[in-house]
């Protein structure tokens, strides 16, 4: 093999199996040959060469987070470029102070946006690097533990229960190996593995001789020869496809860009009209015409709006992180507020993801198992009494012996369970009942095992009893176990299993399932001949012992969260791989009541029209695959819905990527899904989505309030300047004064609006329609109305002091500052918010007025071209403010009759 540095190796030099046949279809000897390795593994020198050749065994989810790239992304907004253009105009006319103020705002906007986005990307990277997985490989005949990123093709890796498979590998030896491949296939049941060659055209889920990167070993152990690493693995191929997918822009981003372009066009038209009127109709000199045009441009452009929007989104994102929702892109913080459908997984999101035995059936009696945890120190009280039933103990003992789970220890010293969650629940139930696992397994040593498969749906283990006899213990799907039983254990005696008793047991199975319990049946039989145990010779004529019903209980906070979403007009849809009965039962417990439960097979038989109808009336989809998820998502979006989609496994990534808001699980989620998402739930809890939606709505309310506030003020300025110019009275306010209002005194209260509390009914309104922008018809009329009222109250002040231009402009300048407090509260009244509900807003208004006093009564008045005001002047301003308040109050009453509240 020619070893070159990673910078020299061509991408097609990997010894891929496709030159011969797929890895799973090759004889093991051929696999070793193709990979140029042996049963002793690679030597250290060869492994080092291959690491240089193939690169590290990691997913290239994205380019490494580059501060420069994140910084450049802040300039994607049209408003930013509008501000830069305004600054350039100011430089051309030598208005350096104005230009400096605008550029300072641009720096502020980009700084806050950069810090939030970069911090979010670093948080995602920190989640991945929190606990880098290790791998055990055989090199030169010795076992070596190393960082899994250093595993290379040709390595022999050893894996056992609890391990994450480090890379794609061909199984060369195994002992009762079961692997949870749900991140790739969506199948919730662990699949058994073997060394046998598989047909070349076998689908991924049926390649039983392969172990794939990022899947988890639930039981057993194996040695695998690594065939693919990094982006060449099955997980890597999905990650690569996601990289090519287009990043969806949120409706808010589109709206803000459209608004910026509309403002720019309006500025250009207004400036053109004013310049034409003054040039053609009036006798104004060109310099005055130019200054008027510049004043209108400065007045029309909301210089502070990008900063306010960015800071509001950043503050909202911070609040979401405090509630365990990590926002990866700022605009998504708002987009959550417009979601009207949430498609969510069940396990771990709606439920605790901790299976516990809740109910037992033994000896003809049903026992409720009290206590929902897995603590092993406590006995299980059944029917409020300690267990003393021989039949119950036999059921629990069978669940403990026919079981590959074990007790382990966490780093903090706490006890934990290793193995399949179902087997861990059975193990814990027996332990809590007083059956010591170590003593029991020592008293009944295992001789052999007939493993569980998805087709057999049962597992059998052979044990030597203390009396030196052999007994088989069987567990599995209750209907499968029951059909192989001819007898049952009742009151310590073995009796004939009649048809009536079979029907009675079946009724109990159905009753358990209807209560959202996963049911398993248990049986045993003495075995005389164990020379060649097979399913045909062992798993017949069994003695039925009983049933155990396990529950993955709903999270306690989920029902209230779902009720809150439904009150807010948000449909919650459970999309799960579990069976329909369990899904319906869980749905009923958490408030998802539905007449029908659709399954994945139903989805496959539906055409587009049928599915479109189904998604509007179905709250639960069971036995679904990732492909079903994507189709359900697309159908909802095509029907005009804004959809949030949750996911954790690699196979969920396409649906998460294409959702309007993609939500990944931070605890059990895979790197690929996290990278495809917009939001990462740090606690994997559905209630966190509800809280994030609430925060998203609050953010949008605040954005809408200060956009109304900023644009209404700017519209009033533009209308006043325009009217004054056309009327021939000249500039009623100077460019520097306008810029001061827009950048400093007007923006400060707007910024504090970003932390306004939520309205009382924020989660009682229906979601915002997907085509509804920030500016609605009501807000547009508010902007126009406020502009007209400002004109009606400000121009008289200017005319009153027209003989003294500096005084007249000072009156207008100061009046506009005072008007800000009135306008901002008039806007907030519609949300039932009092002035004192936001103390920072009060501070901002006070600071704004104080700054105006500093400008009026200190030497810096020269910079702004103002003159000090006397008592009479302040009284005149007070009259104008009172008139403005009256006009606004009447106008709001008229609006309430015409428009809905918001």
Enumerate the active-site residues.
Answer: 345
For residue 641, give every residue at least 6 positions away whose Cβ sits within 8 Å of its Cβ, in sequence order, or none.
340, 341, 770
CA nearest neighbour of 541 among 476, 497, 505: 497
Rounded Cα distance between 663 and 342, Å, is: 10
Rounded Cα distance between 876 and 890, Å, is: 22
Taking CB atoms within 8 Å and a gap of at least 24, the contacts of 457-464 are: 458/539, 459/402, 460/402, 460/535, 460/538, 460/539, 461/401, 461/402, 462/527, 462/530, 462/533, 462/538, 463/401
The SS3 assignment for 309 reads helix
Q: 3-state secondary structure string, 611-625?
A: HHHHHHHCCEEECCC
Question: Which contiguous run of DSSP H or E holds residue 382?
Answer: strand 381-382
For residue 102, give every residue at least 6 positions away whose Cβ sits within 8 Å of its Cβ, in sequence order, or none.
83, 86, 87, 90, 303, 739, 743
Helix-, strand-, coil-residue percentages of the chain, each rounded to 5: 50, 15, 30
CA nearest neighbour of 739 among 792, 850, 813, 805: 813
C-alpha distances out from residue 716 to 709, 712, 812, 864, Å: 11, 6, 12, 20
Task: Supply the Cα-derived Rg of the chain in whole angstroms.
Answer: 35
Rounded Cα distance between 662 and 513, Å, is: 32
The SS3 assignment for 534 reads coil
Question: Which contiguous run of DSSP H or E holds residue 119?
Answer: helix 96-129
Tokens matching residue 46: 């060869």
Q: Which residues pair with 173 in a beta bridge?
A: 223
Angle, CA of 84, 776 and 255, to the nearest 5°: 40
C-alpha distances out from residue 322 to 115, 459, 675, 697, Å: 17, 46, 21, 17
Rounded Cα distance between 823 and 560, Å, is: 37
Rounded Cα distance between 241 and 226, Å, is: 23
CB burial of 172-194 (b: ≥16 within 10 Å; e: otherwise) equals bebebbbbbbbbbbbeebbbbbe
For residue 216, give every residue at least 6 positions away whose Cβ sits within 8 Å of its Cβ, in sequence order, or none.
162, 163, 164, 165, 179, 180
CA nearest neighbour of 468 among 527, 545, 399: 527
What is the phi-psi region of residue 419: left when phi exceeds 0, alpha when psi lies from -120 to 50, beta otherwise? left
The SS3 assignment for 474 reads strand
- 170 and 154 in contact (C-beta within 8 Å)? no
Rounded Cα distance between 854 and 201, Å, is: 81
The SS3 assignment for 649 reads coil
- 317 and 333 in contact (C-beta within 8 Å)? yes
């Amino acid at each position: 093999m020619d070893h070159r540095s990673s910078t020299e190796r061509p991408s097609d030099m990997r010894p891929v199996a496709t030159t011969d046949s797929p890895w799973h279809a090759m004889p093991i000897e051929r696999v070793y040959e193709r990979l140029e390795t042996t049963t002793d593994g690679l030597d250290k020198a060869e492994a080092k060469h291959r690491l240089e050749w193939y690169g590290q065994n990691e997913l290239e989810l994205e380019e490494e987070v580059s501060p420069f790239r994140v910084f450049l992304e802040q300039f994607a907004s049209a408003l930013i470029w509008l501000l830069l253009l305004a600054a350039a105009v100011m430089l051309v006319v030598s208005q350096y102070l104005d230009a400096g103020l605008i550029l300072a705002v641009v720096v502020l906007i980009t700084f806050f946006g950069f810090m939030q986005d970069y911090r979010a990307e670093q948080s995602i990277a920190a989640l991945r690097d929190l606990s880098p997985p290790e791998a055990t490989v055989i090199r030169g005949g010795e076992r070596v533990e190393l960082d899994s990123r250093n595993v290379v093709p040709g390595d022999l890796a050893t894996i056992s229960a609890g391990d994450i498979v480090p890379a794609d590998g061909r199984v060369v030896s195994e002992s009762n190996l079961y692997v949870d491949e749900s991140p790739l296939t969506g199948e919730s049941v662990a699949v058994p593995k073997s060394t046998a060659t598989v047909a070349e055209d076998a689908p991924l889920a049926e390649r039983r001789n392969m172990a794939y990167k990022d899947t988890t070993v639930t039981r057993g152990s194996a040695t695998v020869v690594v065939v693919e690493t990094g982006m060449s693995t099955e997980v890597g191929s999905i990650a690569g496809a996601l990289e090519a997918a287009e990043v969806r822009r949120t409706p808010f981003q589109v709206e803000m860009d459209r608004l910026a372009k509309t403002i720019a066009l309006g500025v250009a038209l207004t400036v053109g009209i004013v310049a034409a009127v003054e040039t053609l109709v009036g006798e104004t000199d060109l310099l005055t015409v130019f200054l008027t045009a510049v004043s209108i441009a400065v007045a029309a452009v909301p210089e502070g709006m990008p900063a306010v929007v960015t800071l509001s989104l950043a503050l909202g994102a911070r609040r979401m992180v405090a509630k365990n929702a990590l926002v990866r892109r700022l605009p998504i913080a708002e987009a959550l507020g417009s979601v009207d459908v949430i498609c969510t997984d069940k396990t771990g999101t709606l439920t605790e993801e901790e299976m516990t035995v809740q109910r037992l059936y033994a000896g003809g009696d049903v026992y409720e198992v009290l206590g929902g945890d897995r603590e092993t120190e406590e006995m299980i009280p059944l029917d409020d009494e300690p267990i003393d039933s021989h039949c119950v103990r036999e059921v629990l003992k069978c669940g403990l012996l026919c079981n590959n789970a074990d007790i382990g220890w966490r780093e903090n010293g706490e006890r934990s369970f290793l193995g399949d969650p179902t087997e861990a629940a059975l193990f814990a139930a027996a332990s809590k009942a007083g059956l010591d696992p170590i003593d029991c397994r020592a008293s009944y040593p295992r001789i052999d095992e007939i493993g569980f498969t998805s087709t057999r749906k049962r597992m059998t283990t052979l044990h030597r009893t203390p009396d030196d006899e052999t007994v088989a213990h069987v567990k599995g799907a209750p209907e499968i176990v029951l059909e192989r039983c001819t007898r049952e254990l009742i009151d310590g005696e073995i009796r004939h299993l009649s048809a009536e008793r079979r029907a009675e047991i079946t009724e109990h199975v159905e009753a358990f399932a209807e209560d959202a319990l996963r049911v398993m049946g248990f049986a045993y039989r003495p075995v005389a001949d164990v020379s060649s145990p097979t399913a045909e010779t062992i798993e017949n004529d069994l003695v039925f012992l009983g049933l155990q019903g396990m529950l993955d209980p709903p999270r306690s906070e989920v029902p209230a969260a779902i009720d809150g979403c439904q009150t807010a007009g948000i449909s919650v849809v459970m999309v799960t791989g579990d069976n329909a009965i369990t899904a319906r039962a869980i749905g009923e417990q958490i408030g998802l009541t539905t007449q029908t439960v659709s399954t994945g097979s139903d989805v496959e038989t539906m055409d587009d029209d049928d599915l479109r109808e189904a998604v509007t009336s179905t709250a639960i989809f069971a036995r679904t695959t990732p492909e079903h998820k994507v189709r359900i998502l697309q159908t909802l979006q095509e029907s005009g819905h804004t959809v949030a989609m949750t996911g954790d496994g690699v196979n969920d990534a396409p649906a998460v990527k294409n959702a309007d808001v993609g939500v990944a699980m931070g605890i059990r989620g895979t790197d690929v899904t996290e990278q495809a998402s917009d939001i990462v739930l740090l606690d994997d809890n559905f209630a966190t989505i509800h809280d994030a939606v609430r925060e998203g709505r609050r953010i949008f309310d605040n954005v809408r309030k200060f956009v109304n506030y900023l644009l209404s003020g700017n519209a009033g300025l533009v209308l006043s300047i325009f009217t004054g110019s056309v009327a021939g009275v000249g500039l009623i306010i100077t460019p520097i004064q306008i810029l001061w209002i827009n950048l400093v005194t007007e923006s400060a209260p707007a910024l504090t609006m970003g932390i306004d509390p939520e309205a009382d009914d924020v989660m009682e309104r229906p979601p915002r329609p997907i085509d509804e922008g920030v500016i609605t018809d009501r807000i547009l009329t508010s902007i126009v109305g406020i502009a007209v009222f400002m004109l009606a109250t400000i121009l008289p002040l200017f005319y009153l002091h027209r003989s003294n231009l500096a005084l007249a402009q000072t009156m207008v300048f100061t009046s506009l500052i005072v008007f800000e407090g009135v306008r901002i509260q008039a806007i907030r009244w519609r949300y039932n918010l009092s002035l004192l509900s936001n103390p920072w807003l009060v501070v901002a208004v006070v600071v704004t007025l104080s700054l105006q006093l500093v400008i009026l009564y200190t030497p810096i008045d020269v910079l702004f071209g103002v003159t000090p005001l006397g008592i009479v002047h302040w009284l005149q301003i007070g009259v104008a403010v009172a008139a403005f308040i009256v006009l606004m109050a009447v106008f709001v009453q008229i609006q309430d009759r015409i428009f809905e509240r918001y």
